[in-house]
Amino acid sequence: MTRDIDQIIIGVRRRFPNVAVDQLKVSHPGDDDGLWFFALPGIRKDIQIESPSGMCPFIVEHDDMKSSSEALQASSIEEVIDAVSSYLQTLATQ
């Protein structure tokens, strides 16, 4: 079974082939590693999505948010892809 995160990564890479995607590396096996970072080469800011299971819904946060209270909740794969891609497009055109 394919997890939503796998489809999200594929969808974002279709729009941004050079995007770097990194999953949080935890130090203890019981820690939650359900956090993925999306970044463009040469740009220090990133956007992250979070889901303990790698399945929707995801919490979406990026470096331009003032606090985590501004985080978005994306309920579908397409919604996550659109949110990540929109932010990456903003970064790419700055």
Q: pTM above the 0.75 mark?
A: yes
Chain segment 22-50, per-residue pLDDT in tens: 998 766 565 557 899 999 999 999 999 99
Angle at 79 between CA 1 and CA 36, to 5 degrees: 65
Please, what is the average pLDDT of the chain?
92
Q: Which of 91, 76, 94, 93 is nearest to 37 (CA)?
A: 91
Contact 23, 32 (CB under 8 A): no
In this structure, of 1-5, 57-61, 74-78, the range with the lowest mean pLDDT score is 1-5
Residue spans per domain, the chain: 4-92
